[in-house]
Amino acid sequence: MSGTHPVLLAAGAGFFCALIFASIPVGPINLTILNEGAQRGFRWAFFIGLGAAVMDAIYCAVSFTGFSSFFDHGVVKASMQVVTFVFLLFLGYKFLFARAVKVPTKLDAASEKIEARLEQKFQPHSAFMTGFVRVMGNLGVLLAWIVVAAYLMSNKAWFTAQDWVADMLRAKVACVGGVFTGTVLWFFAFSFGVSRGHGKFSEKTLLRLQQCSGLCLIFAGLFNGAHIVWHLAKHKI
């Protein structure tokens, strides 16, 4: 696997990150699809997800292009490894011990104000624009992609000596494409399940999914922490 092409590696990394972050946490888009999918059908629910996926990809592209030179510094790369470790454990704890589907954060108040202003300005009437505007106003999405972009550009893949996303335009474009594809795939499956589920999908079900996701995030954080320790021991730092 040491000869994995950088573009394929970046596309795969973006795809799987998108699958994770489209469903973790169970956020406002999934709740919107849950509430409207059963009433208005698969098409309406999917276009909400499609609009959200487009905005997700835009935020991902901004994270890669706007901060790529910043991630080149050795101190920044080392710092982002620690930040990612703390970030994963923090989110994992929040979601694992959540008592409601929407976990309140300090960004919620600001995000809700921004979302309200955007909805007032754009007045989205279509399903696509509803998903697009709600993600646009969610500061947590942009923050998450900044952290993810930093991690992917600052860490080598476990099975090769290459970074998850190489510092080249083709790799970054491939990663953004993978993010869009993974996000669309998740919302397609979720919209179909909700529209055909006849009440089987409930907020209680999503809460269980969120708690399982929290446990997965904690394991991912611990794995990342072990990788940092191994790297330090290898270089005798």
What is the rounded distance in angstroms from the CA atom of residue 61 to the CA atom of residue 149? 9
Residue 54 lies in a domain: yes
φ/ψ of 3, rounded to 5, equals -100, 20
Residue 175 lies in a domain: yes
Contact 81, 147 (CB under 8 A): no
* 70-112 pLDDT tens trace: 655 566 666 777 777 787 888 788 878 877 665 555 445 555 5
pLDDT of 135 > 80? The answer is yes
Residue 83 lies in a domain: yes
Residue 1 lies in a domain: no
For CA atoms 85, 86, 90, 96, the dihedral sign is positive
What is the rounded distance in angstroms from the CA atom of residue 223 to the CA atom of residue 149? 18
Q: Give the pLDDT of residue 67.
A: 64
Residue 225 lies in a domain: yes
What is the rounded distance in angstroms from the CA atom of residue 209 to the CA atom of residue 191? 16
Average pLDDT, the chain: 78
Q: What CA dihedral angle connects 159, 237, 82 and 216, to 10 degrees? A: 50
Cβ contacts of 83-90, under 8 Å, gap ≥ 24: 83/147, 83/150, 84/147, 84/150, 84/151, 84/155, 84/221, 84/224, 85/221, 85/224, 85/225, 85/228, 86/221, 87/147, 87/221, 88/217, 88/218, 88/220, 88/221, 88/224, 89/217, 89/218, 89/221, 89/222
Residue 32 lies in a domain: yes
Residue 227 lies in a domain: yes
Query: How far are the Cα atoms of 69, 161, 185 from residue 36, in angstroms, in the given order?
Result: 42, 45, 19
pLDDT of 48 > 50? The answer is yes
Written as one string, the DSSP assignment of 144-210 is: HHHHHHHHHHHSB-TTSSSBSS-SSHHHHHHHHHHHHHHHHHHHHHHHHHHHHHTT-S-HHHHHHHH
* 146-189 pLDDT tens trace: 888 888 887 777 777 788 888 888 999 999 999 999 999 999 99
130 is in which domain, residue-wise? 6-234
Contact 211, 95 (CB under 8 A): yes
Greater model confidence, 126 or 46:
46
**Cis before 25? omega within 30:** yes
Q: Give the pLDDT of residue 214.
A: 79
What is the rounded distance in angstroms from the CA atom of residue 200 to the CA atom of residue 13? 31
Residue 186 lies in a domain: yes
Q: How many domains does the chain have?
A: 1
| 55-76 burial: b if 16+ Cβ within 10 Å, else e | bbbbbbbebbeebbeebeeeeb
Q: Give the pLDDT of residue 22.
A: 78
